[in-house]
Each structure stands twice: as structure tokens, then as C-alpha cells.
Amino acid sequence: MPDVITGFMSADILQSPLLWTLIALQIAMGGFDVIFHHELTERLAWKDNASGELRLHAWRNVFYGFLFTFFAWVQPHGAIAIAVLIILVVEIIITLWDFVEEDQTRKLPPTERVLHTLLAINYGAILALVMPLLVMWAGQPTGVDVVSYGFGSLILTLAGIGCIGFAIRDTFTSRRAARFQPSSPAALAGILHGKRSVLITGGTGLVGKSLADSLIASGHDVTVLTRDMAKVTGLNAPVRMITSLEQVESTTAIDAIVDLAGEPVAGGLWTRARKREILLSRLHMSRRVNALVARLEKKPEVVISASAVGAYGLTGDDILTEADAAPGYDHNAPSTRRARVFTHRVCLAREEEAAKVRAQGVRFVALRIGLVLDRDGGLLSRMVPAFDLGLGGPIGDGQQWMSWIALPDLVRLIAFAIQSDELDGAVNATAPTPVRNATFAKSLGTVLHRPAILPVPGWPLETVLGDFARELLLGGQRVVPLKVTSAGFSFQANTINSGLRLALRLPDTVASRREAVIRINADARARSKQQVSGAVAHKV
């Protein structure tokens, strides 16, 4: 009789379309959760406090990998079935533990919460169908039956291999997360003297938040203008928050205004409406800043306005300093159709509008910022997931120049611009060593210990994204920061490898220490040459 029941159960349940539909849904939803949430949007592999959650994911994936592969080809009986039941119970405990860990370390997006609920319900339905059969198998003599469910066995095997692969990845990333260098505000001691009162527009964005935190940590008085008060919880205290420049009294003493506000240029497709929004958001803010300065009884010492290296247009291999005029066209386009570059027009329009503050006797700096490297925002944060999975590579032919700067260096440079009276007008905010995109991709792969050999063809990007791809992805500028280096500013990250390690907050390595020694020796030789040249000139 037990054999008859077992055969009936196998025929009715293990061959049931309902069971296989639920299993397929579980695999699909679980895969989507891992790829979309864990890897792409939440980027758990790069969160400082995700080490514990990643370890739980690794163990859970080990159990899933075993269960999927085992049940694809085997029916357990007796003690083996009991062991499988124990594994299922342990997996459920780990899943519940993971729910608690997630709630304690991060705020889950609504889509992930909904998906976790659906996964739990679906998994419960699967267990309700197979658990009676497993209990029955547990009462039989110990052994296994080799089975095949055709295409179903193949799907289960592939799902099991995928789970084991992510278990290995989660193990390594959990160890890496435990070694991340702690995130701390950029040190401004020795750069910005005294106690300054600084007003920052766009102070809850990537650059603005880092600047505000560094100023606050250094004892300066900070006022932040933001449109979204929900983001202020991410700022360190004490900080003064305003939603309009009209809230600033005319008697308020402000030493410096740093205008970083504006719609993100890389925040979406460049439709005609979006281009207009990008331009007008910058012009309107510059006008409001100028109006604020006009009514302040005591004028600030300096107004710093965020521009970008796009102000130079797309100029091929030309080395660009602040002394170079900006032609504003695509250097690579045929002369018969050299359309004006959108980023050039936006940058110069904002610089011209913001520079009107000079009429009030205020020093003005147009900060032409390059690609800002930070793992929590900007282009790098979007590139890292693919490169971390070994799927990265150059964009297009990889020959376009990338002028970059690590976020801590940008914060220090802004403080340097506040302090240095000699800095005026256009100032390049880039590291001294721009690199081609192919070099950037290779360096990012090296820092992550991943191959970076899968190129992204340029023509699909240009076809789909148009000017956005031509200017931001396939074009570039070879910019050097002549003004700030001549004024004595020193970068923490001079090479792309050191910049990427600083941006990703990766632990120091033998290679980075060797690189630092080479840089120190090079600086010493340069100083020695300067001293010799100075001595010769003095004698002459």
C-alpha cells in the first residue's frame, strides 16, 4: 500500500503543472530580486554595512543550489529525506534571519518588500505541496531513486548552478565589505583657515552632501538649500536647512556661496523638454544667487558656481587648460555639420550668468568639474556592478578622453577655491592625469580584480541615446587643472588607479603603496629640479 500511495503522490504532485509553475515563478522572482535589487539598484556588494546580509545570502544560496540540483535528479528516502527536511528548516530560519538583518541595516525599496512577500507566499505554496511527500519518503528505507523530469530537471540544474555561483560571489563580497575603508568627511585642515560661513545650494546631492559634511566636521558654519527636505536626514549636524534663498536675512553674514544646484545632466534622456529644464534650472539658480548677494548687507568673499569640462566642447586629443577658448563643437564631426555641443552651451550660459556677481565686487569662480568618482553616485556607481561581475569594458572605440576627479579631492579643491584669493574665473576641477576610456576600463577591472574586455559598441548607444551618448559617453575632453596646481593644491589621487581605490574605499594594496612611493619620488625629483633651476637663476 505505501508503494501505491508513493506512486500516486509522485504522479499527481511531482508531475503537476501547478507545482512546476510555482517552482518556475520562484526561480524567476528570486533571480530578478538578486540581479535587479541586490546587484543593480541596492548594490549590496558595495554597502559598508552589508557584510552580514551578504553572508546570509551566501548560505541561503548554498542551500538553494543544493536543493535545486538534488531534486532535479534524485528522490530521497529514509535518513536522506530527513536530512533534506532539516536543510529546508535551516533555510527557512536563515531567510527569517535575513529579513531581520535587512530591516536593521538598510531601508528596503517598496518593490523589494513586495517581491519578498510574493516569494514567501510562493515558497509556502511549494512546501505545502511537497512537504507531505517528503515526510512520507522519510518513513521509507534509506536510499535514493534517480529520476528525470526532462526540461524541468534542466531548469532546476541551471538554477542550482546559478545559486552556487552567487553563493561564491556573496562570500567574497561579504569579506570585501568587511574590509572597506570607513567613510569619513574629507579633511580640510590646512586648506580652509578660520571659521567660515558657507551657503551651499544643491547641498543634498553627491558633491553638496560631501562638501557640507566636510565643512561641518572642520568646524565651519553651513547652510544648505534643498528642494527635498526628506534628504536632510543624510546630513551631519549641525547644519542650517532652507528651502528658498528668500529665507536668508539681508543681515546674514555669509563668507562663501557654493552653487551646485541644477537638474542632473545625466539624469535622463535628452528630450527637448529635458534640455530646456537642464539649462533653465542652472540659469534660474544663478540669478537667485546674484539677487541674494545684491540684498546682503555684507557681501560674500566668493561665489563658486558649478560648471563642467563640457564647457570646452568635444576637442579630441587637445590638452585643455583654463587659458584655452572653448570652440563648443564636436571636433570629430565633419566641418559641414559641426553642431554646437549641448553641454558647452549649458556650461557657458551658466558661467556667463553667474559671473554677473562680479559687478557687486565679489570674486567669482566657475568650477569646471570632470567625471566625479565615487561609489555611491555618478557614472562610476552605475559602471561598478557590471565590472564587478566581469562584464565591463571600454565604451565605443575607447579612445575618448575622460577627465576625472575623486570626490574627496573635489571637496578639498572647493575648500581651496574658497580660501585662495588668486583663483578667479574658470578653474578646472579635474585630476592632473586624464585617461582614455580604454585605460579607465582597464584600471577599473584591475582595481576590482576582474577582466574588463567586453566592449560596449558605440553605434547602438548613439542610435538610442543620440546627443547624450555622443557627448557624455563617446566624447570627452583632455583637461588639466593648471590653475589649482600652480596655486599649490595637491591631489590625494593623481593616478586613475589611486583615484578608483579612493572612490571605492578599497583597502590599501601593495600596488597602491608602490604607486605612492613612485609618486613621492617623482615629486622629490621635481622639487630638486626646481631648486637647482632657482639656484642657477639666482646666480645669473
SS3 105: helix
Rounded Cα distance, 133 and 220, in Å: 68
Give CA angle at 501 (500, 502), nearest 5°.
90
Residue 132: is the preceding peptide bond cis (ω within 30°)?
no
Q: What is the mean pLDDT of residues 433-446?
A: 96
Q: What is the mean pLDDT of residues 63-74?
A: 94
* Contact (CB, 8 A) for 301 and 258: no
Give tens-digit pLDDT for 284-333: 999 999 999 999 999 999 999 999 999 998 888 989 999 886 554 444 55
Whether residue 507 has pLDDT greater than 90: no
What number of CA atoms fall less than 13 Å from residue 166's CA on the CB side?
25
What does DSSP say about strands 143-146 and 74-77: parallel, antiparallel, or unpaired? antiparallel
Give tens-digit pLDDT for 107-131: 899 999 999 999 999 999 999 999 9
What's the one-letter identity of residue 180? F
Greater pLDDT, 336 or 149: 149
Quick one: pLDDT at residue 391?
93
> Which residue carries 512546476 as its cell?
20
Q: What is the mean pLDDT of residues 380-396?
A: 93
Length of the chain: 540
What does DSSP say about strands 143-146 and 197-201: parallel, antiparallel, or unpaired? unpaired
Whether residue 54 has pLDDT greater than 80: yes
**Per-residue three-class SS string for 465-513:** HCHHHHHHHCCCCEECCHHHHHCCCCCCCCCHHHHHHHHHCCCCCHHHH
Q: Could you tell me the pLDDT band of residue 455, with boundaries at 50, 70 and 90?
A: very high
Whether residue 502 has pLDDT greater than 70: yes
Quick one: pLDDT at residue 269?
87
> Which residue carries 582595481 as its cell?
447
Give tens-digit pLDDT for 369-386: 999 999 988 899 999 999
Percent of the chain, pLDDT > 90? Answer: 71
Percent of the chain, pLDDT > 70? Answer: 88
Q: What is the mean pLDDT of residues 334-356?
A: 78
Whether residue 57 has pLDDT greater than 50: yes
Give CA angle at 304 (311, 364), nearest 5°.
85
Whether residue 538 has pLDDT greater than 50: no
Taking alpha carbons only, the member of 205, 216, 314, 315 closest to residue 266 is 205
DSSP letter assigned to residue 329: B
What's the one-letter identity of residue 464? V
Element (H, E) at 223: strand 221-225
Q: What is the mean pLDDT of residues 473-483?
A: 94
Quick one: pLDDT at residue 316?
85
Quick one: pLDDT at residue 15?
82
Give tens-digit pLDDT for 214-237: 999 999 999 999 877 666 666 777
Rounded Cα distance, 181 and 504, in Å: 9
pTM of structure: 0.84
Greater pLDDT, 84 or 190: 84
Q: Could you tell me the pLDDT band of residue 141, with boundaries at 50, 70 and 90?
A: very high
Q: Could you tell me the pLDDT band of residue 337, with boundaries at 50, 70 and 90?
A: very low
Whether residue 513 has pLDDT greater than 50: no
Give tens-digit pLDDT for 85-109: 999 999 999 999 999 998 888 889 9
Rounded Cα distance, 488 and 482, in Å: 10
Q: Could you tell me the pLDDT band of residue 14, with boundaries at 50, 70 and 90?
A: confident
Greater pLDDT, 237 or 452: 452
Torsion of CA 312, 315, 320, 323, to 10 degrees: -50
Where is average pLDDT lowest: 4-13, 252-261, 345-354? 4-13
SS3 308: strand
Greater pLDDT, 143 or 509: 143
**In 10 A of CB 3, how many CB atoms?**
8
Whether residue 514 has pLDDT greater than 60: no
